[in-house]
Structure 1
């Protein structure tokens, strides 16, 4: 048989027993059947109303026990609320951190849409499109300069993150690499190949291996050859690399070759005209004076 110490007592209605109780808090119990518990409380209250004051005696203990139980529940709830206060502060902090995200997501969505528009409706979403530094738009307005700035900024970040992690890449990339359009073209192509191999939705291990085994070593070799013994001083006004961009004869100078090739290429090619020869020699002399003679 259970001793009086084993009996549980409901803090609300005062019922005592072994089974049918749940924990009210860490130190007290209450009836698991709340409906029956409430009924017993009401019956005890009715009994007090019809019991003379002299005969109430122990019956007054039931409401006192219920009041004590309620007090303990209120104290437990207060403790829980205080424990949740740091959590509320953390929720507010998270809210403040998340607040800027919609604007960032909107900006990212515009970038993704722009890339998707460049890819075209027939291209797979996420597939990197080729980009040519040599073929970027140019002109007196700022559109060309802005596009070139974007390419160089993105490329510079990728060089630090990926390309310059390879010792031969560090050795090959000269201090004046961005003055060499052919080198920038090599690097832009290499970066795009890396994105296609590692980032695109259709990226594969085979592409990554090909980038390591074929694309990167080939680009490093060509960059080293293009910039060997070059420096920033070489691009100053007195340097050997300070010269205008390449030019070819324009207009009527191309017409004789076009006519020969398009009409009668089986015959002998037309002779170069004297004016063309003289213009070419002048340009050659200017290149020699600038240290840029043909190699």
Structure 2
């Protein structure tokens, strides 16, 4: 899906190309005002050529050198879209992720009931694709995947799931909610107009509505 971020992807390309055009214009002006063999004109001509090569190389890369990972947490309410992401993930888990002993040990039977865990795995899968299968895949990216990304995801999954099991999901769990949304108006007024003053005090209604922060999804120890 195209968003305003697409324009940002090409910002560097446009900037380099624009600079190359400016240098070329300046080079032509110097050529008219001084002999071509003038040292400054020669250097400027060389710089114009280097900038043009850089602009072309940047344009060839464009945004295609970035593998975009879909977010499991913000997928559309569409069963086909969800199935497509999950099918790809399940295949990749069997082929790659579960080949690592620590990863296999951290993935409990109830992992599918933890949206934050699925989100981590979808993201990790796409970093692996970027490192190994993308047209701009590199050994450096693969090294990052092994050294930082995969161990980091395994560690966070262990924290998120802990000792949770399928039995903990037999009773319906409420979806998480943003605490005290009703206080947003007071915060907007304070932060937007008088942030150097003390923050507004919570009202009795706020205190009554406050509840302990929930632990991980379905993790009821």
User: What TM-score do the two structures reach when normalised by structure 2?
Assistant: 0.66
State whether structure 2 residue 67 is matched by structure 1 residue 128: yes
Task: Tell me the residue number matched to 1:271.
Answer: 201
Task: Tell me the residue number matched to 1:147.
Answer: 81
Alpha-carbon distance change, 218 to 251 in structure 1, aligned in 2, over 3 angstroms: closer
Q: How many residues align?
A: 166
State whether structure 2 residue 90 is matched by structure 1 residue 156: yes
Task: State the alpha-carbon separation in 1 of the partners of residues 129 and 149 from structure 2.
Answer: 13
Gaps of 5+ in 2: 11-61
Task: Compute the RMSD of aligned alpha carbons.
Answer: 3.0
Task: State the alpha-carbon separation in 2 of the partners of residues 271 and 261 from structure 1.
Answer: 13
Task: State the alpha-carbon separation in 2 of the partners of residues 172 and 252 from structure 1.
Answer: 38
Counterparts of 1:18-167 in structure 2 under 5 Å? 122=10, 123-125=62-64, 127-138=66-77, 143=78, 145-167=79-101
Alpha-carbon distance change, 227 to 292 in structure 1, aligned in 2, over 3 angstroms: closer
SS at match of 1:266: coil
State whether structure 2 residue 195 is matched by structure 1 residue 256: no
Q: Which has the higher contact order (CA 8 A, sep 6+)?
A: 2
Whichever of the two has the greater Rg, that structure is 1
Higher helix share: 2
**Which shifted more, 258-267 or 118-127?**
118-127
SS at match of 2:135: coil
The list of structure 1 runs, each at least 4 consecutive aligned residues, that deviate by more than 3 angstroms after superposition, is 117-127, 249-252, 290-293
Task: Tell me the residue number matched to 1:30.
Answer: none
User: What TM-score do the two structures reach when normalised by structure 1?
Assistant: 0.50
